A = this chain, B = another copy of it.
Amino acid sequence: MKKVGILHPGAMGSSIAASAAAGGHAVYWAAAGRSAASRARADAQGLIALESLAELCAVCDVLLCVCPPDAAVTVAAAVASAGFRGLYCDGNAIAPQKARLIGERLAAAGIDFVDGSIIGPPAWRAGTTRFYLSGSGADAIAALFAGSLTEAIPLGEEIGKASALKMVFAAGTKGATALTVAILGVAEQLGLRADLHAELARREADLPQRRQQQARAVTAKAWRFAGEMQEIATTFEEAGLPPGFFQAAQEVYQRLALFKDQETTPEIEAVLAALLKPD
Contacts and interface: CB of A to CB of B under 8 A. Distances in A.
Interface of A: 96, 119, 130, 132, 155, 161, 164-165, 167-169, 171-172, 175-176, 178-180, 182-183, 185-187, 189-192, 195-196, 199-200, 202, 235-236, 239-249, 251-252, 275-276
A192 B166 CA distance: 10
Contacts of A245: 178-179, 182, 244-245, 248-249
B161 A171 contact: no
B239 A190 contact: yes
A243 B248 CA distance: 7
A195 B155 contact: yes
A189 B240 contact: yes
Contacts of A183: 168, 171-172, 175
B130 A199 contact: yes
A217 B30 CA distance: 53
Given A182-B241, A186-B239, A244-B251, 14 more contacts: A119-B199, A130-B202, A155-B195, A165-B196, A168-B190, A171-B183, A175-B179, A176-B176, A185-B241, A241-B248, A242-B248, A244-B245, A244-B248, A245-B248
Contacts of A155: 195
Contacts of A172: 179-180, 183
Contact of A236 (B132, B182, B235, B249): B182
Contact of A190 (B164, B192, B200, B249): B164
B189 A241 contact: yes
Contacts of A244: 243-248, 251
A74 B190 CA distance: 26
Closest 7 CB pairs of A and B: A244-B248, A244-B244, A242-B248, A189-B239, A186-B239, A242-B251, A245-B248
Contacts of A164: 190, 192
